[in-house]
C-alpha cells in the first residue's frame, strides 16, 4: 500500500489502513477505496467491500487471490486490478476521475521499477521493528499449488540495485535498523543477490527474507548474505516425502538432503524458518509424526504448516476440481487451516486433526526448548535465542487457542 501511494499522483490524498493493527474507518470521507488481501483473507476483504459499497463508496480490489478469481470478486466491487498494479494504477485513477472506471485492469510488466514507498503512511502504526523492501517478483519454478507460479508463469523480475538500496536507506533514515527483503525467489539471479548484498553490507543493517533451501549448496553466496546482515530466512521445504514433492512439481527438492542443508545454514548463523504442507497425497499419520521428529531434531526455529488448499487458478486446483476427493467446492470456505480434500490415506477431517497434532507436538514446551534453547547458538547469540524463544511461546499461546501461527 505505501508503494501504491508513491505511484499515486500528488493531486490525490492517500491514507492506509492495516486491519490487523487497527479498525477499518468505515466512516472515512475517502471517495475511492482500494482493498488488497492475501489467500483466504479475501473473504474478509469482500465483507469490507460490501460495507463500503453500502455507504456509497467506489471500491477497487487487487492482490493475488483477487487476480485469480477476478470475475468472482467483481460481484462485490466496482473494479478488479489483476496482477501487478504498477502498469495500470494511474490509468485506473484517471478513469475514475473521468467517470469511466473499467471493470478490470491488467498490464503485464516486462520490467520492475518502482519509486520509494511512502513508508511514513505506516510508520505511525504499531508495525514492529522492521519495514519491507522489495527486490524481485515472480519465480522460475512451477510448483502446482503456488499462486505465484500461476500468475507469473516462470517470469522473474528484479529491480535495479540502486532502486532497492534507495528503499533500504529510506528505511534506515526512518530510524529502523532491520528490514524484510521481499523476493519470491532470491536465488533466481545469484549474481544480482551477491551484488545487492555487497551494497547492503555498507548499511550495517540486519535483514530477513525467504529463499530456496538450495542456498546451502552455494557456500560463497551464503557467506555473502550472512556477512551483509542476513540473520533469518524462511524456506518452503513443503514435505519430507520425495513422492509428495514430485506430485506437486517440486522434484528439484531432495528431502534426503534437508538435514545436512539445514545444519549448513544454522552453522553459517542463519535462523531457519520452514513452511510445510499437510494433506498432500502420500501423507499419513505416521509421516506427520516423522515430520514432527524432523523439525525437532533439526532444531528449526520457526516451523509453520499449511493444509494444502486448492487455490482457484493453480495447477493443483485444475487437477482436483472435478475429483471426488474435493469434498468442499465452496471456495469461500477454503483455508490453510482446514482441509477441503480427502487424500489417499486421510480424510479431510483426519487431515485437520493431524494438522493440529503436528502443531501441538512441535510447539510443546519440551520441544520448544529442544529447538531453541538447547543449541550452540544460545552461548553465541543469546539475544537472538531469547527473542526466538519469545516468538515460539507466543505462537504456542495461539496454537492452544486453535489459532495457527500463519494467521497471527
pLDDT digits (tens, 9 = 90+) for 220-249: 999 999 999 999 999 999 999 999 999 999
Q: Find all residues with CB under 8 Å of 22, minimum gap 6, and list them.
A: 125
Strand stretches in 143-281, DSSP E: 156-158, 178-182, 206-211, 230-238, 271-278
pLDDT tens track for 202-227: 999 999 999 999 999 999 999 999 99
Contact 15, 28 (CB under 8 A): yes
Contact 245, 205 (CB under 8 A): no
* Distance (Å, whole) CA 326 – CA 341: 4
Helix, strand, coil percent content, the chain, rounded in steps of 5: 45, 15, 40
| Phi and psi, residue 357, nearest 5° | -60, -40
Residues 30, 15 contacting (CB under 8 angstroms): yes
Kindly report, residue by residue over 272-284, the tens digit of the pLDDT. Answer: 999 999 999 999 9
Return d(Cα 234, Cα 307) in angstroms, integer: 18
> Which three cell numbers, joined as nine digits, stand for 340?
477441503
Domains and CATH numbers, the chain: 2-106 (3.40.50.280), 128-399 (3.20.20.70)
Q: Could you report the per-residue pLDDT of 32-49, keeping only the tens digit for each?
A: 999 998 888 899 999 999
- 208 DSSP β-pair partners: 180, 232
Question: DSSP assignment of 124-177, as one string?
Answer: TS---S-EEEE-EEE-S---TT-HHHHHHTT-EEE--HHHHHHHHHHHHHTT-S
pLDDT at 62: 96
Percent share of the chain, pLDDT over 90: 89
* Residue 371 scores a pLDDT above 70: yes
Would the pLDDT of 193 be above 70?
yes
Q: How confident is the model at residue 313 (pLDDT cuts 50, 70, 90)?
A: confident
β 136-138/156-158 pair status: antiparallel
Q: What is the pTM of this model?
A: 0.93
* Residues above pLDDT 70, as percent of the chain: 100
Q: Provide mean pLDDT across the span 242-261.
A: 96
Q: What is the pLDDT of residue 408?
A: 44
Rounded mean pLDDT, 95-101? 97
Q: Identify which of 229, 159, 211 has the alpha carbon closest to the alpha carbon of residue 3.
A: 159
Q: What is the pLDDT of residue 361?
A: 98
- Asked whether residue 407 carries a pLDDT value surpassing 70, the answer given is no
Q: Tell me what pLDDT residue 239 has.
A: 98
* Mean pLDDT, residues 284-306 taken together: 97
Count Cα neighbours of 83 within 13 Å in the Cβ-side half-sphere. Answer: 17
Question: What is the SS3 assignment for 86?
Answer: coil
**Residue 115 clears pLDDT 70, i.e. is over it:** yes
| 267: pLDDT strictly greater than 80 | yes
Mean pLDDT, residues 41-60 taken together: 96
Amino acid at each position: 500500500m505505501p508503494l501504491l501511494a508513491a505511484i499515486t499522483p500528488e493531486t490525490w490524498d492517500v491514507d492506509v489502513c492495516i486491519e490487523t493493527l487497527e479498525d477499518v474507518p468505515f466512516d472515512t470521507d475517502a471517495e475511492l477505496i482500494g482493498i488488497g488481501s492475501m489467500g483466504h483473507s479475501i473473504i474478509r476483504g469482500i465483507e469490507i467491500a460490501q460495507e463500503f459499497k453500502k455507504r456509497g463508496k467506489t471500491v477497487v480490489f487487487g492482490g493475488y487471490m483477487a487476480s485469480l478469481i477476478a470475475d468472482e470478486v467483481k460481484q462485490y466491487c466496482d473494479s478488479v486490478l489483476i496482477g501487478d498494479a504498477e502498469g495500470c494504477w494511474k490509468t485506473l485513477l484517471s478513469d475514475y476521475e473521468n467517470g469511466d472506471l473499467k471493470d478490470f485492469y491488467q498490464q503485464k510488466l516486462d520490467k520492475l521499477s518502482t519509486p520509494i514507498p511512502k513508508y511514513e503512511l505506516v510508520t505511525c502504526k504499531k508495525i514492529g521493528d522492521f519495514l519491507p523492501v522489495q527486490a524481485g517478483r515472480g519465480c522460475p519454478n512451477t510448483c502446482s499449488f503456488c499462486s505465484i507460479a500461476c500468475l507469473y508463469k516462470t517470469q522473474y523480475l528484479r529491480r535495479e540495485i540502486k532502486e532497492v538500496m534507495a528503499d533500504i536507506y529510506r528505511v534506515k533514515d526512518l530510524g529502523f535498523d532491520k528490514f524484510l527483503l521481499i523476493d519470491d525467489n532470491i536465488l533466481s539471479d545469484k549474481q544480482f543477490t551477491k551484488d545487492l548484498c555487497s551494497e547492503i553490507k555498507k548499511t550495517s543493517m540486519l535483514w530477513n527474507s525467504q529463499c530456496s533451501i538450495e542456498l546451502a549448496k552455494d557456500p560463497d553466496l551464503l557467506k555473502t548474505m550472512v556477512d551483509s546482515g542476513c540473520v533469518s530466512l524462511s524456506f518452503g521445504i513443503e514435505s519430507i516425502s520425495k513422492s509428495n514433492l514430485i506430485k506437486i512439481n517440486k522434484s528439484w527438492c531432495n528431502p534426503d538432503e534437508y538435514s545436512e542443508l539445514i545444519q549448513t545454514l544454522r552453522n553459517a548463523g542463519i535462523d531457519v524458518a520452514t513452511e510445510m504442507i499437510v494433506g498432500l497425497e502420500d501423507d499419513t499419520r505416521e509421516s506427520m509424526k516423522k515430520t514432527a521428529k524432523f523439525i525437532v531434531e533439526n532444531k528449526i526455529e520457526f516451523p509453520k504448516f499449511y493444509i494444502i488448499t486448492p487455490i482457484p487458478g493453480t495447477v493443483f486446483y485444475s487437477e482436483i476440481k472435478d475429483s471426488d476427493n474435493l469434498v468442499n467446492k465452496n471456495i469461500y470456505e477454503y483455508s490453510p487451516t482446514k482441509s477441503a480434500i480427502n487424500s489417499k490415506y486421510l480424510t479431510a477431517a483426519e487431515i485437520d486433526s493431524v494438522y493440529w497434532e503436528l502443531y501441538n507436538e512441535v510447539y510443546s514446551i519440551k520441544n520448544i526448548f529442544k529447538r531453541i534453547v538447547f543449541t550452540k547458538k544460545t552461548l553465541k547469540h543469546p539475544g537472538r535465542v531469547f527473542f526466538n524463544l519469545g516468538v515460539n511461546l507466543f505462537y504456542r499461546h495461539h496454537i492452544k487457542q486453535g489459532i495457527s501461527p500463519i494467521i497471527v
